[in-house]
Structure 1
Amino acid sequence: MRAAPSTIVVTGRRGQIASALGRTLTQAGFDVVLIGRPECDLVDAGAVRRAIAEARPALVINAAAYTAVDKAEDDSGAAFAVNRDGAGYVAEAAAQVGAPIIHFSTDYVFDGSKGAPYVESDPTRPLGVYGRSKLAGEAAVAEANSRAIILRTAWVCSSGGANFLNTMLRLAASRDELGVVNDQRGAPSFAADIAGATAQIAANILDTPDDPSLYGTFHLTSAGETTWCGFARSIFEGSAVRSGPHARVKPIATADYPTRAQRPADSRLDCSLVAARHGVVMPDWRDGLERCLDELFATPMREERAS
């Protein structure tokens, strides 16, 4: 056990993963410093350097990102400024204070054509600007900091923020039926579970910071797999049990729901390497969904029972 709490800087502040990290790392006994806009914009290298130097962290976690996948197609400058340049600034600032960095990336670095879960060494081939900017960010982080961990995750959801789960519940409040894509496959991954796994990884590298096997690129998603359509059905089943909004789900093809950016059809990630190196095994996505719905409906349900 550490003699004193270690300080961890987390960028992103209001994002799903950053918010979950703030809670989880604090509960794990770390001193957490959340930084983000407006005080510290990732595209401002000087501001990033000053914020991290002032905190004097033992570890930096970069959870900030430009995540507007469709908008990025017409706003590539902003996507690359945050996801490549900003990530590099954070990694460099961490290196300057002697701190390792954990950086979050995405399944969108792959094109989804493998037909099986991707391992870390598989060739990357992003289909759109967002994926290309995140892949460039991986390279920038690895170049700027020799003690870097890159965690590729996917389909991130939580009880707060803009995500698929909350979008489905919002739409179901006013519609009886929703068409949802059924030919894109992956693993819904919940911010709280990602944060718990990251806390374990953080403890590992702070306990043995010179172990080279702990660094590199790792895949980190919930266990199991589904489609967006299957995910939507599970969301509504769980919501209905909790007296929340629900709707019928009609399976549709990707071609029936065109978007500005192309998505990978099969972005399942093999997470055996992070289990072998860090002892991290994520729970099944269905378990994460149940906990997320419990959190989402806890207050309304308690109020309803009391009335």
Structure 2
Amino acid sequence: MRTLVKVVNGQLGKSIKSLVNQQKIGDSFVFATRDQFDLSNPQSVKSYFESYTFDLIINSAAYTSVDGAELNEKEANMVNHLAVKQIAEIALNKNIKLIHISTDFVFDGFKSQPYLESDTAEPLNSYGKTKLAGENAVISIMKFNAIIIRTSWVYSEYGNNFVDTILKLVKNGNELNVVSDQIGTPTYASDLGIAILDIIRSEKFNGQKQESQVYHYANKGVCSWYDFAKEVIQILGSNCIINSIKTEDYPTTAKRPRSSVMSTDKISQEFDLKINFWKNSLKVCMKKLPITCSSNED
């Protein structure tokens, strides 16, 4: 299966690339950057797919700046919605399967239980609205052979993310104030990458034509951003002071859901996936970072 992974120097794309190289299956994967085709340029996308043929597209590229999307909604909509719609149309016309990555921010955060794939999506911000529009375009265009995977709080050893930010602040000797009333689940990008590779090898994915589906994937467990930061600091073995604050004490341009915990039962059962607990995956990630970590265990 010849697979295109669309990345914009993103964490998931880099994680998948590392995994396929480790598994020595890189010859069947193509990793396309913005230089090769630009999601904000419809002609660039069209020209790329006129030149190359694939059996599967994994679209992990997105406009991911939540606050930035409030100020640049047109650009966010182009990348997260209109480009996704164009890719879905190309995939349909060329009989290409599609795995599209979406977000927990399609939910408003008012549900007290984990969100199911069947729950109504009501985003609070422009980022979530553009991502939901992209989801709707995929499902509308591709009745079959598309998978949407919503994920949450993604971090990795690559690029800018919450873990990287906390480590930089600790290194600079900052006392930290972190929000404790926004609840969700961290997702280690490598774990999500492994899940995607398992899915595309599965009998279900490679069998008869399947109806397009939405799935949720995150690591197991629930925490606040404060809990997440505290665990990073504990693994690091730092004496950094961390304070718990409320959302209203840390105003942002875009509203965030108070609880975006998602149920992963559907994806784990249908594809027989083992999903790691978030603290365990965080330790694995931090061991790969160029920092001095303690060997603290639960």
Equivalent position of 1:3 in the other structure = none
Cα distance, 1:13 vs structure 2 = 4.4
Equivalent position of 2:187 in the other structure = 189
Equivalent position of 2:262 in the other structure = 269
| Residue 120, structure 1, aligned to residue 109, structure 2 | no
Alignment of 1:84-99 (within 5 A): 84-99=81-96
| Residue 178, structure 1, aligned to residue 176, structure 2 | yes
Over residues 228-260 of structure 1, what are the superposed CA-to-partner deviations in whole Å (9 max), with x where a residue is unaligned?
Answer: 0000000011112xxxx6622100000110100
Cα distance, 1:176 vs structure 2 = 4.3
CA contact (8 A) 2:100 2:148 kept: yes
Where do 4+ consecutive residues of structure 1 move more than 6 Å?
none
Task: Indicate the SS of the match to 1:150.
Answer: strand
Q: Percent identity?
A: 33
Alignment of 1:50-89 (within 5 A): 50-89=47-86
* TM-score, normalised with respect to structure 2: 0.92
Equivalent position of 1:305 in the other structure = none
- Residue 255 and residue 13 in structure 1: after superposition, are their counterparts in 2 closer, same or farther (change >3 A)? closer
Aligned with 1:15 (options 6, 10, 16): 10
Alignment of 1:205-224 (within 5 A): 208-212=206-210, 215-224=212-221
Give the partner amino acid of 1:204.
Answer: S
Q: Partners in 2 of 1:209 and 1:42 — Cα distance?
A: 30
Task: Indicate the SS of the match to 2:133.
Answer: helix
Aligned residues: 290
Gap runs ≥5 in structure 2: 294-298
Equivalent position of 2:98 in the other structure = 101
Over residues 128-186 of structure 1, what are the superposed CA-to-partner deviations in whole Å (9 max), with x where a residue is unaligned?
Answer: 00000000000112223331100000000011211110001111112342010000111
Gap runs ≥5 in structure 1: 1-5, 303-307
Alignment of 1:220-259 (within 5 A): 220-240=217-237, 247-259=240-252
CA contact (8 A) 2:199 2:205 kept: no
* TM-score, normalised with respect to structure 1: 0.89
Give the partner amino acid of 1:108.
Answer: F
Give the partner amino acid of 1:135.
Answer: L
Equivalent position of 2:155 in the other structure = 157
CA contact (8 A) 1:169 1:246 kept: no
Over residues 22-51 of structure 1, what are the superposed CA-to-partner deviations in whole Å (9 max), with x where a residue is unaligned?
Answer: 222344425111112122001223322332
Task: Indicate the SS of the match to 2:288.
Answer: helix
How big is the alpha-carbon RMSD for the aligned residues of Structure 1 and Structure 2?
1.8
Q: Partners in 1 of 2:204 and 2:266 — Cα distance?
A: 19
Q: Partners in 1 of 2:15 and 2:279 — Cα distance?
A: 18
Q: Partners in 1 of 2:193 and 2:118 — Cα distance?
A: 24
Q: Partners in 2 of 1:206 and 1:33 — Cα distance?
A: 23
Task: Indicate the SS of the match to 1:60.
Answer: strand
Give the partner amino acid of 1:247.
Answer: C
Task: Indicate the SS of the match to 2:289.
Answer: helix
Over residues 182-231 of structure 1, what are the superposed CA-to-partner deviations in whole Å (9 max), with x where a residue is unaligned?
Answer: 00111100110010001111112686242426x40000000011100000
Task: Indicate the SS of the match to 1:89.
Answer: helix
CA contact (8 A) 2:70 2:127 kept: yes
Give the partner amino acid of 1:24.
Answer: L
